[in-house]
Amino acid sequence: MIKVSLHGAEFFARHGYYPEEQILGNRFVVDIDAEFTPDDALHQDQLNNTINYEHLYLIAQQEMQVARQLLETVAQSIMDQLLAQFVYLEKLSVRVKKLNPPLGGVVAASSVTIIYQKPV
């Protein structure tokens, strides 16, 4: 099995439950781990025999542009798009972190992680 990952993809977005969060926006970080079992074609050194992490980034970027109230919804929308594009994925993890969430104290980040595992 191979895991292709994207770590620390940072975006400015307007996600948040409170109206002020959607007006002001915030910085978010997305991490994606995508796992699959390759066929024997990996020795051919061709990008189309694996998962292009640029596509992981572009899907995350596209979904981050749609303002949503919940981080859970953001993570699920990224996951749904990835599973639709890469139907051979066996395991997928999407984490969305909100940096400096407005909680009235010092908090580095809040996050939500959604994990998919293909049924056996």
Q: C-alpha distances in angstroms, 58 versus 7, 38, 78? A: 14, 22, 10
The whole-angstrom separation of Cα 99 and Cα 110 is: 7
Give yes or no: 118 in active site. no
Identify whether the C-beta of residue 28 lies closer than 8 Å to the C-beta of residue 10: yes
Name the catalytic one among 3, 91, 97, 98.
98
* Residue 85 structure tokens: 């594009």
What residues act catalytically? Answer: 98
